[in-house]
Amino acid sequence: MKKYAFGCAGVGLLLLLVLGIGGCSSYNGMVTRSTRADETWAQVQNVYQRRSDLIPNLVSTVSGAANFEKSTLTEVTEARASVGRVQLDPNKAPADAARLEEFQKAQGQLATALSRLLVVAERYPELRATAAFRDLQAQLEGTENRITVERQKFNEAVRAHNAGIRTFPNVLFAGAFGFQVKPYFTAQEGAATPPKVQFDFGKPTNAPARP
């Protein structure tokens, strides 16, 4: 009887040891994937902030052009302000899908307004000829491309995190350790193509008549 009791105790201890080791391994893996998602989110925030930082200089440069459409400048300025009102932790991947959707919507409106401003600028040869405008145009083009790349990396990291907490044996420990599914950036109409920020400098255009 004693041997049976000792045997059961030994099996119990062995199971606890296996669960402990498995739990530690699962926890470490989940921490690694969650941290990777947070790191990629920080990069997404960095490139969006880069675009936001370029806009005041762009608006200042464009507003110096004679008869430039003021409504277009106002739209960009207001869209940038709307983005600033959607505050998310820059160092931690969002867990609230609704908040991420709100953030994405605001950024999409800013991208649309910015694209419209740059398209309107095509009608102003004297503006396009300035070094400041051409430099800003090049920087914005690179930033829009980086936004696309970093968002893709973020979605890949989130996908790995979400898969990690749903697979066995991690699914047994994820809830207890506080790991939750993270939302993705979702595709929007036209999202596969960054806003147009290049100009055909060889194409003849007619500037609006000066007063």
| pLDDT at residue 195 in the model | 46
Domains of the chain by residue range: 26-177
| pLDDT at residue 86 in the model | 93
Question: With left for phi above 0 and alpha for psi between -120 and 50, is residue 195 left, alpha or beta?
Answer: beta
CA distances (Å), 118 to each of 8, 53, 65, 95, in order?
75, 16, 13, 34
| pLDDT at residue 36 in the model | 96
Query: CA angle 37-41-45, nearest 5°?
Result: 175
Q: What is the pTM of this model?
A: 0.78
The answer to whether 69 touches 120, Cβ cutoff 8 Å, is: yes
Question: With left for phi above 0 and alpha for psi between -120 and 50, is residue 93 left, alpha or beta?
Answer: beta
Domain at 26-177: CATH architecture: Up-down Bundle (1.20)
User: Would you give per-residue pLDDT tens digits along the chain (211 residues)?
Assistant: 555 555 555 545 555 554 555 557 788 899 999 999 999 999 999 999 999 999 999 999 988 887 788 899 999 999 999 999 999 999 999 999 999 999 999 999 999 999 999 899 888 888 888 899 999 999 999 999 999 999 999 999 999 999 999 998 888 888 888 899 999 998 765 444 444 444 333 343 344 443 3
The answer to whether 48 touches 90, Cβ cutoff 8 Å, is: no
Alpha helical stretches, state H, the chain: 2-63, 70-84, 97-120, 125-128, 131-166, 170-177
Within 8 A by CB and 6+ apart from 27, the residues are 173, 177
